[in-house]
């Protein structure tokens, strides 16, 4: 009877130790999705003049995707640029201020020699002050013209629709000649890196955290398993299914994998550390004393 209880206890302990290993070794179903998807529209209302990309094209961040008609904006840029590059008014103000300073210096010299009255000196000083203020006003007007030029360029830039990130054109909703108001024009999907959504049993919750590596096997011809890293773990476990979700980041250099694939996920267990072997003692030790022969000691066995 005692042997039967002992055997049953040993079998139960063995099953408890083997349960987590079998659960972690079982592949988990997952889905490979784009890292982000954005429906790209226009910040201004207008008519599409030209579409530069098509569905499936790779795009870079800042790359032009389409342009709107911008005849008025281009003319505004040219007008503002002409004002910003005009130097005549500023140079005239600088010359007038320099002349007024010279008149004031001569008037002050003549006033010291009592050739002119104090009233004439005050008038020369007032004219110099007015000339300096006009120079300051001309410089401020020059800065205003420069800002107007930048504003016109910004308004013209709104007529060019650019990609917000590196990715692919997942869909194109509008064509040249259509009026853009609130509808999106393109759908941009980022597929490097990819996002992997995994549903895991609650028993694996202690083993999964931010930074945990998992091996992802895409269901795609010729695709080899690759490592992904956990970036998000749900803090709530679904009671009905006793599961939780985790999000992983999967590198996808050169866009080798398409998004939307099903896959299998498996936890990567860290390899156990190898024990450090102690150093073997030397076979013998030589001791040499000054003026004495060599003494050789051999360790006891």
Q: pLDDT digit string (tens) for 288-298?
A: 545 555 445 55
Contacts of 72 (CB under 8 A, 6+ apart): none
**pLDDT at residue number 5:** 33
In this predicted structure, the answer to whether residue 272 has a pLDDT above a threshold of 90 is no
- Give the number of residues written for the chain: 301
Give the Cα separation of 271 and 27 in Å (integer): 19
Phi, psi (rounded to 5 degrees) for 250: -115, 115
User: Tell me, what's the pLDDT at 269?
Assistant: 74
Strands 46-51 and 28-40: unpaired
In this structure, the number of other CB atoms found within 10 A of the CB of residue 30 comes to 27
- Split at pLDDT 50, 70, 90, the class of 7 is very low
Find the angle CA(20)-CA(5)-CA(8) to the nearest 5 degrees: 25
pTM of this prediction exceeds 0.85: no
What are the tens digits of pLDDT across the range 65-93? 999 999 999 999 999 999 888 888 889 99
Task: Give residue 17's pLDDT band: very low, low, confident or very high (50, 70, 90).
Answer: very low
Whether the Cβ atoms of residue 192 and residue 255 lie closer than 8 Å to each other: yes
pLDDT the model gives residue 68? 96
The DSSP 8-state label assigned to residue 238 in this structure reads B
Cα 186 versus chain centre, distance:
21
Tokens encoding 269: 């267990």
- For residue 23, the surrounding DSSP H or E stretch is helix 2-25
Distance CA 43, CA 22 (A): 54
DSSP 236: S
Q: Are 273 and 249 in contact (CB under 8 A)?
A: no
């Amino acid at each position: 009877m005692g042997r039967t209880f002992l055997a049953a206890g040993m079998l139960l302990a063995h099953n408890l130790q083997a349960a987590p290993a079998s659960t972690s070794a079982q592949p988990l179903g997952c889905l490979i999705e784009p890292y982000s998807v954005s429906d790209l529209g226009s910040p201004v209302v207008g008519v599409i003049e030209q579409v530069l990309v098509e569905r499936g094209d790779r795009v870079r961040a800042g790359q032009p995707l389409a342009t709107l008609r911008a005849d008025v904006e281009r003319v505004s840029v040219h007008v503002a640029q002409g004002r910003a590059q005009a130097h005549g008014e500023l140079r005239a103000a600088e010359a007038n201020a320099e002349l007024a300073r010279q008149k004031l210096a001569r008037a002050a010299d003549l006033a010291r020699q009592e050739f002119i009255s104090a009233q004439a000196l005050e008038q020369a000083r007032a004219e110099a002050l007015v000339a300096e203020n006009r120079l300051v006003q001309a410089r401020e007007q020059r800065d205003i013209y420069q800002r107007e030029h930048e504003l016109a360029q910004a308004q013209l830039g709104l007529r060019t629709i650019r990609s917000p990130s590196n990715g692919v054109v997942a869909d194109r909703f509008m064509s040249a000649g259509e009026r853009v108001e609130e509808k999106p024009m393109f759908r941009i999907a980022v597929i490097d890196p990819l996002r992997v959504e995994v549903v895991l049993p609650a028993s694996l919750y202690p083993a999964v955290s931010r930074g945990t590596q998992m091996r992802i096997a895409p269901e795609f011809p010729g695709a080899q398993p690759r490592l992904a890293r956990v970036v998000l773990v749900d803090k709530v476990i679904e009671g009905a299914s006793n599961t939780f979700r985790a999000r992983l980041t999967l590198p996808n250099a050169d866009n080798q994998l398409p998004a939307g694939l099903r896959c299998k996920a498996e936890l990567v267990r860290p390899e156990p550390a190898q024990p450090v072997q102690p150093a073997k003692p030397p076979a013998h030790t030589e001791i040499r004393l000054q003026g004495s022969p060599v003494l050789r000691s051999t360790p006891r066995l």
